[in-house]
């Protein structure tokens, strides 16, 4: 809203300044090119003609300024529309991953309680490459219109942390799938359920419980390649991947929102 007001003010200022300059020219021309001793009626006619001339000249100038302002406004509206689309896509990917991350968080209690998570097998599909490609495409269109690449680092961090967290989720899902298969768990609702282990059941899945806890508590190695082609290796835990992903989403959405307010 501030941008629109500034644009209107800028347009009005340009129009006023342009016409004042034309009037200055008219007055100077009149002063230096008319004889004060000449007939007053004739001098009045000359001044009137000069005013008509200035109005004629001002018309295309004003039209240009109006067109320029309209073009800027349309570009702003298009860029804002792209930012809204980008925020929608980013939020969709974030929620898709966090849906299973929050369910996976419940497995931290798997040592003490039998955990029943419905549809957790779909966690391995939450890293939606089609959605990420669409995010990339929308951002590229925005960059082409605005020559602004300041969102790219935020988007790259979001992609990287999304990959890290979903890699953990895939590993956890694999072990949890074995856990549910051994215990022959059949979810009775769409809600995650927790119940006390019945005698003998926990012993059946001791290995799977240990594997899930190990994945969630120990560090996993990752690597990425920088713009110079150097390979960087690092280790993080599940909780770190979880926190980094949430933070990268918040940072990206904040950056997008600031673009919409600019």
- Residue 248: the pLDDT is 97
For the chain, the average pLDDT equals 84
Same domain for 109 and 9, yes or no, is no
Q: Is residue 87 part of a domain?
A: no
Same domain for 126 and 253, yes or no, is yes
The Cα 176–Cα 170 span in angstroms is 10
Q: Which of 69-73, 102-106, 109-113, 138-142 has the lowest mean pLDDT?
A: 69-73
Q: Is residue 32 part of a domain?
A: yes
Same domain for 109 and 69, yes or no, is no
Q: Is residue 231 part of a domain?
A: yes
Q: How many domains does the chain have?
A: 2
Q: Is residue 78 part of a domain?
A: no
Same domain for 58 and 106, yes or no, is no
- Residue 4: the pLDDT is 46
Same domain for 164 and 115, yes or no, is yes
Same domain for 105 and 60, yes or no, is no
Domain finish residue from 56, 73, 90: 73
Residue in 262, 259, 243, 248 with CA at minimum distance from that of residue 86 = 259
Domain finish residue from 20, 39, 73: 73
The Cα 235–Cα 222 span in angstroms is 6
Q: Is residue 85 part of a domain?
A: no
The Cα 179–Cα 206 span in angstroms is 9
pTM comes to 0.74
pLDDT (tens digit, 9 = 90+) per residue, 3-60?
A: 445 666 676 777 677 767 777 776 777 666 666 666 666 667 766 776 677 767 766 7
Same domain for 112 and 66, yes or no, is no
Same domain for 129 and 254, yes or no, is yes
- Across the range 195-220, mean pLDDT stands at 95
The Cα 234–Cα 163 span in angstroms is 14
Same domain for 140 and 229, yes or no, is yes
Same domain for 178 and 134, yes or no, is yes
The domain in which residue 36 lies consists of 2-73
Same domain for 69 and 103, yes or no, is no
Cβ contacts of 51 within 8 Å, gap of 6 or more: 26
Same domain for 119 and 185, yes or no, is yes
**In contact, 53 and 33? CB cutoff 8 Å:** no
pLDDT (tens digit, 9 = 90+) per residue, 159-191?
A: 999 999 999 999 999 999 999 999 998 877 778
Cβ contacts of 79 within 8 Å, gap of 6 or more: 142, 145, 146, 259
């Amino acid at each position: 809203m501030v941008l629109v007001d500034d644009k209107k003010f800028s347009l009005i200022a340009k129009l006023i300044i342009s016409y004042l300059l034309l009037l200055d020219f008219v007055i100077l021309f009149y002063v230096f090119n008319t004889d004060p001793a000449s007939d007053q009626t004739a001098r009045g006619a000359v001044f009137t003609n000069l005013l008509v001339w200035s109005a004629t000249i001002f018309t295309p100038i004003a039209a240009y300024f109006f067109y320029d302002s309209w073009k800027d406004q349309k570009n702003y509206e298009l860029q804002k529309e792209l930012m809204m689309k980008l925020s929608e896509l980013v939020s969709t990917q974030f929620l898709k991953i966090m849906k299973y991350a929050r369910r996976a968080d419940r497995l931290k209690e798997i040592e003490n309680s039998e955990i029943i998570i419905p549809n957790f097998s779909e966690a391995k599909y939450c890293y939606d490459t089609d959605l990420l490609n669409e995010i990339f495409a929308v951002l590229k269109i925005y960059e082409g219109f605005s020559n602004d690449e300041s969102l790219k680092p935020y988007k790259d961090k979001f992609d990287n942390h999304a990959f890290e967290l979903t890699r953990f989720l895939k590993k956890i899902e694999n072990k949890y799938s074995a856990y549910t298969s051994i215990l022959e768990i059949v979810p009775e609702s769409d809600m995650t359920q927790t119940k006390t282990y019945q005698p003998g059941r926990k012993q059946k899945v001791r290995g799977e419980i240990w594997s899930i806890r190990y994945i969630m508590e120990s560090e996993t190695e990752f690597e990425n390649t920088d713009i110079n082609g150097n390979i960087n290796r690092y280790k993080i835990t599940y909780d770190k991947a979880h926190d980094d992903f949430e933070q990268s989403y918040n940072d990206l959405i904040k950056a997008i929102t600031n673009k919409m307010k600019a």
